[in-house]
Structures are given as structure tokens and as C-alpha cells.
Amino acid sequence: QVQLVQSGSELKKPGASVKLSCKASGYSFTTSAINWVRQAPGQGLEWMGWINTNTGNPTYAQGFTGRFVFSLDTSVTTAYLQIGSLKTEDTAVYYCARGKGDGYNYDSWGQGTLVTVSS
Amino acid sequence: DFVVTQSPDSLAVSLGERATINCKSSQSVLYSSNNKNYLSWYQQKPGQPPKLLIYWASTRESGVPDRFSGSGSETDFTLTISSLQAEDVAVYYCHQYFTTPRTFGQGTKVEIK
């Protein structure tokens, strides 16, 4: 079955960087986009962007340019989200989600990775 | 950016009764060339990732109970739970994918009265 397994929780200091992983299994990795969604504590969902797993081309939402980088390692069917120069407001759960079919709808989600940024 | 606004922010419904959630987008999400509304609905239970319920405004995802239905077009949409069950307690989000950046509504919390 389709499964996305994300890396474990992270505790970082402001200014540090972090790289989260999203390991996909149960389907052909390069046939479905990977989207990233952020959820701050007690808040709603925020779409960060997506990466084309066939070409590696990323698309970032406004507010997620510069410090945020989507990448892939297709040899291990894994997508990555790297966040640089962490700020306290980056504290959130980060989800990866597979875009089904044409990529618009997210039919399988990782369990989420909690990133806590605190001095 | 497209803004999608849900109403109400929360609602409490008795078991077996109907729950209705509204979603309004700031611009039409109907793509004229294929007559599809680029809007979906997700359910998120506490401590869990979201789950896709409805896409193209009214197409139920495989495995989703038929008490969940979506309707509407262009800028106004509705998610209906025809007979609320205890396991439906969750936050529900609408999501437009007509344009980038894709955006979610703020969420509607559904509880049991």
C-alpha cells in the first residue's frame, strides 16, 4: 500500500538549519508529485509547494521562498524539505503528501514531523 | 492570492443529524475548458494528518462513507455530513487548487452536541 514515512521530531535553535525526509513506498515514486504542507501549533493547514518527482522541479508558495528547499533522492524514493536560518515562527508540523493522478489532490500523507525552534 | 473562507468556524451537531460546512472562494475555481471545480475537502482528526474526502468539489474519494457529500460551483461550496457519527468529530478544510499558491480554508471544527 502507498505509504509516506517522515523523519522524527527536531529541536533546533534559531539560525540553525534542518532537513526533513519523506520516504515513499508502495507506488512508483516518480509518477506522483510530493507536496509539503505546514501546520503551526493549533492552526490550520498551509500549502508550501510541491516538487515534480520526475523532473525534480520545485514550486514554492509565496512565503516559502529563499529559506525553504525541496529536493529528491529518487534512488531511495525520498523527498526532502530543508529549512535554513530557522526562526521561532517556523515551529510547526510539516507534512509531505502525495499528489494523486494529476497531482492536485493529496491522497496519502506522511505522519508529520514536528520542528520546534527555540533558544 | 485566492482566499477561501469557511463558515462556521465551529459547529456542534447531534449524533445522526446533518452537518453542513460552507466554503467560499474569492474567485471562481471553475475551469471552463473542462467544467471542473478545482476544490477539495479534507478531514483532520486530532493528532493525525489530513485525509482527502472530496475532490473536484463533489467526487468522493475511494473508501469515504457516502454520508459525506460535496456540492457547489464557481465560488460557493458545501460539505455535508448527512448523519453525523461519533467518528466524524474532526476539523474540516476546503482547499482550492485552481491556482498557485493553492490555499486552504481556515478550518471548521465539528463536535457532538
Per-residue pLDDT band at B1 (split at 50, 70, 90): confident
The set of residues, in sequence order, having a beta carbon less than 8 Å from that of B78 and lying 6+ positions away, is B20, B21, B22, B23, B70, B71, B72
Task: Give the Cα separation of A15 and B86 in Å (integer).
Answer: 44
Residues of A in contact with B52 (CB under 8 A): 100, 105-107
Look up cell 500523507; give the residue: A109
Residues 68-107 of B with CB under 8 A from A: 91, 93, 95, 97, 100-107
Of A45, A110, A111, which has the smallest distance from its Cβ to B104's Cβ? A45
Helices and strands (H, E) in chain A, number of each type? 0, 11
The set of residues, in sequence order, having a beta carbon less than 8 Å from that of B111 and lying 6+ positions away, is B10, B11, B12, B13, B89
Amino acid in position A32: S
Would you state the pLDDT for residue A102?
Answer: 83
pLDDT digits (tens, 9 = 90+) for A41-93: 999 999 999 999 999 999 999 999 999 999 999 999 999 999 999 999 999 99
**A64, B101, B105 from B7: Cα distances, Å:** 27, 22, 9
Residues of A in contact with B93 (CB under 8 A): 44-45
| Contact predicate A13/A117, CB 8 Å | yes
* B49–A contact, CB cutoff 8 A: yes
The conformational region for residue B67 under phi > 0 = left, psi -120 to 50 = alpha, else beta, is alpha
Cα dihedral B80, B100, A113, B85, rounded to 10, equals: 0
Residue closest to B6 by CA, chosen among B97, B100, B103 = B103
3-state secondary structure of A105: strand
Task: Give the Cα separation of B52 and B102 in Å (integer).
Answer: 15
pLDDT digits (tens, 9 = 90+) for B4-58: 999 999 999 999 999 999 999 999 999 999 999 999 999 999 999 999 999 999 9
- Cβ pair A61:B93 closer than 8 A: no
- Cβ pair A107:B61 closer than 8 A: yes
Cis, peptide link before residue B101, omega less than 30° from 0: yes
Residues of B in contact with A45 (CB under 8 A): 42, 44, 50, 93, 95, 104, 107
Would you state the pLDDT for residue A103?
Answer: 83
Cα A4 to the center of its chain, rounded Å:
11
Per-residue pLDDT band at A101 (split at 50, 70, 90): confident
Of A47, A49, A109, which has the smallest distance from its Cβ to B49's Cβ? A109
Would you state the pLDDT for residue A8?
Answer: 98
pLDDT digits (tens, 9 = 90+) for A2-25: 999 999 999 999 999 999 999 999
Task: Give the Cα separation of A42 and A105 in Å (integer).
Answer: 23
